[in-house]
Amino acid sequence: MKSMFMVFLFLFAGLTTGQDNGAIKLPEPDTKGGVPLMTALKNRASNRNFDTLSLSVQQVSNLLWAAYGINRPESGKRTAPSAMNWREYTIYLFNKNGVYIYDAQSHTLKKILEGDYRSYCGVQDFVSVAPLNLVYVSDFSKLSRIEDEEMKTMFTSADCGFIAQNVYLYCASEGLAVVVRGMIERDKLHSLLKLKPEQKIILSQTVGYPKK
């Protein structure tokens, strides 16, 4: 069992195998696991003390599916609700090897940058220590049927909160450390990711094992 875990860890940490044009097909999420919901809610908390240990590829699959995966394939709808069914978010994943986009349709990670850019995800030291940072980017060009800019911002911010809370609950269930963050140097990160002006970085979230 331990050797299986190590193989998964290697596949995700090294990203040398199982890749197709830079895309990593994630294993099916384990939708039967986890602690009871009320226990996860009891344990939900921010923790900024991270170990450097990587997550397994199965944990990454479960985490991303919990965050924003498709739970109703017939409609393409997600684990998180979205105003007007905009589904306007892209999740970027940063680890020590690169930067990836989570494609929910194919449940795949697509590598967009090679190298360790974790420090771009925030201004706090732990962002470069923890194995994973997620960055939530809202595409304002998808916010149709509302003209009022303030309303758009309110609705899309609420959408981001649901994604982040899904991640909090998954981490509470797995005994992982996690903190959502608004303190981000957005201009620097925006340039790194070559985002369009209408793509706005809303929040980031750091995930890893708690430091013992």
Ligand X SMILES: Cc1cc2nc3c(=O)[nH]c(=O)nc-3n(C[C@H](O)[C@H](O)[C@H](O)COP(=O)(O)O)c2cc1C
Binding site for ligand X (CB under 6 A): 45-46, 48, 124, 179-183, 203
Whose CA is closest to 121, among 185, 55, 196, 49? 185
Q: Residue with CB nearest ligand X? A: 183
Q: Which residue, 37 or 45, has its beta carbon nearer to ligand X?
A: 45
Q: For residue 129, what are its two tokens?
A: 């220590």
Dihedral (CA of 167, 170, 172, 174) sign: negative
User: Which amino acid belongs to residue 50?
Assistant: F
Neighbours of 65 (CB within 10 A): 23
Shortest gap between Cβ of 172 and ligand X (angstroms)?
Answer: 10
Shortest gap between Cβ of 43 and ligand X (angstroms)?
Answer: 10
Shortest gap between Cβ of 191 and ligand X (angstroms)?
Answer: 20
Measured distance CA(162)–CA(79) in Å, rounded = 9
Q: Which residue, 109 or 174, has its beta carbon nearer to ligand X?
A: 174
Q: Which residue, 27 or 210, has its beta carbon nearer to ligand X?
A: 210
Q: Which residue, 48 or 96, has its beta carbon nearer to ligand X?
A: 48
Shortest gap between Cβ of 180 and ligand X (angstroms)?
Answer: 5
Measured distance CA(12)–CA(17) in Å, rounded = 9
Give 44's DSSP letter: -
